[in-house]
Amino acid sequence: MRTETPVTIRLKDYKQPDYWIRHAELTIRIFDHFTQVESHLTIEQNGTGHLPPLVLDGVEQDIKEIELDGELVENFSYENDRLTVQPVKSHFVFKAVTHINPNENTSLEGLYKSGTMYCTQCEAEGFRKITFYLDRPDVMATFTTRLEADKALYPVLLSNGNPIDQGDLGDNRHFAVWDDPFVKPAYLFAAVAGDLARQDDTFVTQSGREVSLRIFAEHHNAHKTQFALESLKRSMKWDEERFGREYDLDIFMIVASDFFNMGAMENKGLNIFNSAAVLASEETSSDDRFDRIEAIVAHEYFHNWSGNRVTCRDWFQLSLKEGFTVYRDAEFTSDMHDRTVKRIKDVMFLKNHQFPEDGGPSAHPVQPQEYIEINNFYTVTVYEKGAEVVGMLHTLVGDKLFRKGSDLYFERFDGMAVTTDDFVACMTEVSGQDFTQFKRWYTQAGTPTVRVTEHYDAENQQYKLAFQQHCKPTPGQTEKLPFVIPVRMALLNSEGQDMPITCDGEFNEQTQVLTLRETTTEVVFSNVSEKPVASLFRDFSAPVRVHFEQSQEDRLLLALRDGNAFNRFDAVQNIYLKEMLALLNQPEQGVSEVIDQIVKASIEDADLSNAMKSVMLTLPSYQLLMDNVDVVDPQRLIAARETLKKHLAVQFAEQWAAMTQSLASADDYQFNAEEAGRRELQGLALSYWVNSGSDDALSYAEALYRAAHNQTDRLNGLRAVLESDETERQQALLGHFYRHWHNDTQMIETWLSMQATADGVTVEQLHSLMEHEAFDIKNPNKVRSVVGGFAMNFKSFHDEQGAGYQFVADMIVKLNAINPQIAARFVKVLESWRKFTPMRSEQMQAALTSILAASDLSPDVLELTQKALA
């Protein structure tokens, strides 16, 4: 345990370190009950003059020996996770021999045991749990790493870079030496020791170099690595073509680990993945899992340039690598599959998760100004909103200049640790545009709202749009200055076709983008021969909320005819949302006709792909609904959404039945956008069909489950059964699932989350689930399946007794002692307490307060809980 009280770190206090580490030579000796780490760090003073003390980070280091230039040092201090020694020269070698205990390391940060293997996770500040270091990203060194371990138990020994030596040590032990010639910060360090199966391949880069590709997994998972390997090759090729980025080392490795706090980690040449984010088979992985694996493999690979070759100066720049890399992986997925569908899913994710974060007590800018625990800032704001900001830069400069700017960025800052300002400066330099005001997107938190009003003057054939932007205060930021907001737009005629645009605003004809810079902007369009229907914010060209009181007729035209498929979807969502809000306020009034009209049209539209149909027929989530009401009364939200869902289920029961049947396929499983779209739509149709109350639907669902040869069909069947109220049938299927799949880690995780997300699950049931042999509180994936799944289960989580809230709070306290990072993630699900009706609000607040009463709270949990209550 740390003894100090949590300290706030501020961006404005950044200064360079007193010393640089140029080279790190590590030997990691793994023994049964402890691990010895011997490090030789080549250090030099940053600057000249009198020599300040050398202060190194180190957590839970059992010191055996400290030396400076071969001389034993006895005069050092080690307290509050910092080692202080006094150098006597400006260039020297620091040596430390320490013992650490990976077997007891349940935080899964630093070196730890995952099942039978050892692995590491160093980002953000885990390296200091391995050895003493200047553990900050602006300190970049080359690394040589030697691993020693038992030969039989750990035949595979891996680290960053290229393998340069290996051999026997006697005593059944062996060693391997890896050398990484590229300078990197310690957060990109990795080491693995295990008995692992390996799948090999090669990739020839654009300049003709052959790179070995290797994916490692535990033996029983050896058959699940093919898809990730293919994804990796696609990513490598794409990054060459789209961004001109070639891979640099001779070898690229991925290791799958069952115990992992996040999705994956981009360690140089040695990515370590949560096994759930890399292992795939049609038997055990659903289509969305395949999608996710491909995207994460790409994301981590892309970091080799956006993150590793060019890294962050300090952790306030996290979005420099994460926002940009999320942007890059989204572009990759769009190119591989269906651009519009990818955009729709990303925007839904942003609205469901980032908008609430931006509107709540933990709102922070894409570039935070301060933090207590950096691990708390791996957020949807830094990642997904950060990617939107990069996307807006792209929108503003266009394809060609964006590529030119990114080339300049990679070239100029290769091997350096830089800032988001440096990135934007490259875009300024290539485009000549001034992004000073634009940079407010990095520094101001909160989601701006844009209010739009329109006026058509038939006589003068003029159409006027007035935009007014406003951003509510967020914690610590009361005053907001206007943002630069790119509005990609068109004016539609009554046929739904784009009309030519002439206007007096800052309008770019090529990109069809109107740029807003002021609090209010009025734009006059001339030669407009009929009253147009404005299609605004096409493809969600800015992360804003839009209030535009268009007529129902106009909305309908957009929903049915807009040439921009994203905006068609958006119009439909708005109609559903309005309907649900109406049902919320006047439940007795019934569902309006326009809904049936849209649903019918979407079902029948032969031009829509199945994937598009599926998103067009999906009702907005509870999250989105919550985001659009002032006070959340869960019962009323549930009633409104269920009324609409039930209405559609019954009204179109025949169509759902017909669709379910016609979308069935007996062909072999293929993962591609078209097939995945077909299965997705079938799952949706089946869900509606079951909700119509049909017994045939339930039998169909069960049969689909039982006959399935792939996980998507299986889960479509199972989910539909879990939506019914046939408890016996549900128990039978869940029992069957467990009997068949209890030896498969991914299937167990699915089995747990299926139950935690099922309709009507109770806290008692969660408790028995956690007593089941399949559960392990030390395993983040299992905890996420149960606790995370439950928190997404709107109906059960908001159960009237408030038991759901207290359950989560109790789990946070329990997890705090085991794995603070995982514990802290769940605080977020309670932070919106102010938005609820009084009883719920009090219950949630009480749950949060009960966390603070626990002793030994980690900085992770403390920071977020205090913020949530502040």
The catalytic residue positions are 300
> 282 vs 300, which CB is nearer to ligand ARG?
300
Residue 373 interacting with ligand ARG (CB under 6 A):
no
At its nearest, how many Å lie between ligand ARG and the CB of residue 111? Answer: 15
Partner in contact with 558, chosen from ligand ARG, Zn ion, none, beta carbon below 5 to 8 Å by kind: none
Residue 570 binds which entry of Zn ion, ligand ARG, none, CB below 5-8 Å type-dependent: none
Other C-beta atoms lying within 10 Å of the C-beta of residue 848: 22
CB burial readout 819-834, b (16+ within 10 A) else e: bbbbbbbbbbbbbbbe
**Residue located via tokens 């035209």:** 557
Q: Between 74 and 113, how does the x/- string for binding to ligand ARG read (CB under 6 A)? A: ----------------------------------------
Q: What track of x and - describes contact with Zn ion for positions 312 through 351 (by CB under 5 A)?
A: ----------x--x--------------------------
**Whose Cβ is closer to ligand ARG: residue 123's or residue 675's?**
123
Q: Rounded to the nearest whole angstrom, what is the least distance from the CB of residue 35 to Zn ion in the complex?
A: 27
The stretches of 758-802 forming alpha helices (DSSP H) are 763-771, 780-783, 789-792, 794-797
| Residue (187 or 402) nearer to Zn ion, CB | 187
Token match 């409104």: residue?
Answer: 640
Element (H, E) at 112: strand 110-114
x-or-dash pattern for Zn ion, window 268-307, by CB under 5 A? ----------------------------------------
The span of 61-69, 258-266, 547-555, 669-677 binding ligand ARG (CB under 6 A) equals 258-266
Q: Measured from the CB atom, is 125 or 454 closer to ligand ARG?
A: 125
**Rounded least distance, CB 661 to ligand ARG, Å:** 42
Candidate list 81, 123, 239, 579; residue touching ligand ARG; CB under 6 A: 123
Q: Is 384 in the site for ligand ARG (CB under 6 A)?
A: no
Q: How many amino acids of this chain bind ligand ARG (CB under 6 A)?
A: 12
As measured in angstroms, the least distance from the Cβ of 227 to Zn ion is 20
Residue closer to ligand ARG by CB (options 386, 789) is: 386
Q: Give the count of beta carbons closer than 10 Å to the beta carbon of residue 237.
A: 14
Sole binder of ligand ARG in the list 176, 262, 534, 715 (CB under 6 A): 262
Which of Zn ion, ligand ARG, none lies near 265, with the C-beta cut-off 5 to 8 A by kind? ligand ARG
Provide the 8-state DSSP code for 241.
H
Work out whether strand 210-218 and strand 251-257 pair parallel, antiparallel, or are unpaired. Answer: parallel
SS3 139: coil
Q: Which is nearer to ligand ARG, 377 or 540 (CB)?
A: 377
Three-state SS for 280-340 is CCCCCCCHHHHHHHHHHHHHHHHCCCECCCEEECCHHHHHHHHHHHHHHHHHHHHHHCCHH
287 binds, among ligand ARG, Zn ion, none (CB under 5 to 8 A by kind): none
Residue 484 interface partner, choices ligand ARG, Zn ion, none, CB cut-off 5-8 Å depending on type: none
Per DSSP, the three-state class of 500 is coil
The least distance separating Zn ion from the CB of residue 301, rounded to whole angstroms, comes to 11
Report in angstroms how near the CB of residue 11 gets to ligand ARG at its nearest: 18
DSSP 632: B
375 binds ligand ARG (CB under 6 A): yes
830 contacts ligand ARG (rule: CB under 6 A) = no
Of 672, 682, 721, the residue nearest 699 (C-alpha)? 721
Stretch of 257-265, 286-294, 406-414, 719-727 lying at the interface with ligand ARG (CB under 6 A): 257-265
Provide the strand spans (E) within 509-588.
513-516, 520-525, 533-535, 545-548
To ligand ARG, the closest distance from the beta carbon of 296 in angstroms equals 8
Closest to 594 (Cα-Cα) out of 543, 631, 635, 557: 557
Which region among 2-10, 30-38, 295-303, 405-413 touches ligand ARG (by CB under 6 A)? 295-303
Q: Which value, in Å, is the radius of gyration of the alpha carbons in the chain?
A: 28
Residue 213: phi and psi, rounded to 5, are -110, 135
Distance CA 428, CA 435 (A): 7
Contact at 8 Å (CB) between 601 and 562?
Answer: no
Q: How far apart are CA 280 and CA 477, in angstroms?
A: 44
Tell the smallest beta-carbon distance from residue 325 to Zn ion (Å).
Answer: 5
Q: What does 85 interact with, of Zn ion, ligand ARG, none (CB < 5 to 8 A by kind)?
A: none
Selected from 24, 28, 97, 124, the binder of ligand ARG by CB under 6 A is 124
Residue ranges in 480-499 that form contacts with ligand ARG under rule CB under 6 A: none
Q: Is 357 in the site for ligand ARG (CB under 6 A)?
A: no
**In this structure, which amino acid lies at residue 441?**
W
Task: State how far the Cα of 468 lies from the Cα of 521, in Å rounded to an integer.
Answer: 7
Residue 266 touches ligand ARG, criterion: CB under 6 A: yes
Q: Tell me if 329 contacts ligand ARG by CB under 6 A.
A: no
Residue 378 in contact with ligand ARG, rule: CB under 6 A? yes
Residue number with the smallest Cβ distance to ligand ARG: 378
* Binding window for ligand ARG (CB under 6 A); candidates: 28-36, 259-267, 436-444, 715-723: 259-267
Cβ neighbourhood burial of 199 (10 Å; 0-12, 13-18, 19+): middle
Task: Pick the piece of the chain touching ligand ARG (CB under 6 A) from 193-201, 297-305, 793-801, 832-840.
Answer: 297-305
Is residue 206 within 8 Å of 240, Cβ to Cβ?
A: yes
For position 265 contacting ligand ARG by CB under 6 A, the verdict is yes
Query: Please, how many CA atoms are within 13 Å of residue 557, restricted to the half-sphere of its CB?
Result: 17
Give me the amino acid identity at 210.
E
Nearer residue to ligand ARG within complex by CB, 37 or 262: 262
Q: Is 267 in the site for ligand ARG (CB under 6 A)?
A: no
Where is 422: in which H helix or E strand? helix 420-431
User: At how many degrees (to 10) do helices 634-651 and 673-691 cross?
Assistant: 100
| Residue 300 interacts with ligand ARG (CB under 6 A): yes or no | yes
Longest CA–CA span in the chain (Å) reads 95
Nearest CA among 406, 390, 242 for reference residue 319: 390
Name the one residue in this structure whose structure tokens are 């501020």: 10
| Beta carbons within 8 Å of 297's beta carbon, 6+ residues apart | 228, 231, 232, 235, 254, 264, 273, 278
Nearer to Zn ion, 147 or 254 (CB): 254
List interacting residues with Zn ion (CB under 5 A): 322, 325
List interacting residues with ligand ARG (CB under 6 A): 123-124, 262, 264-266, 299-300, 303, 322, 375, 378
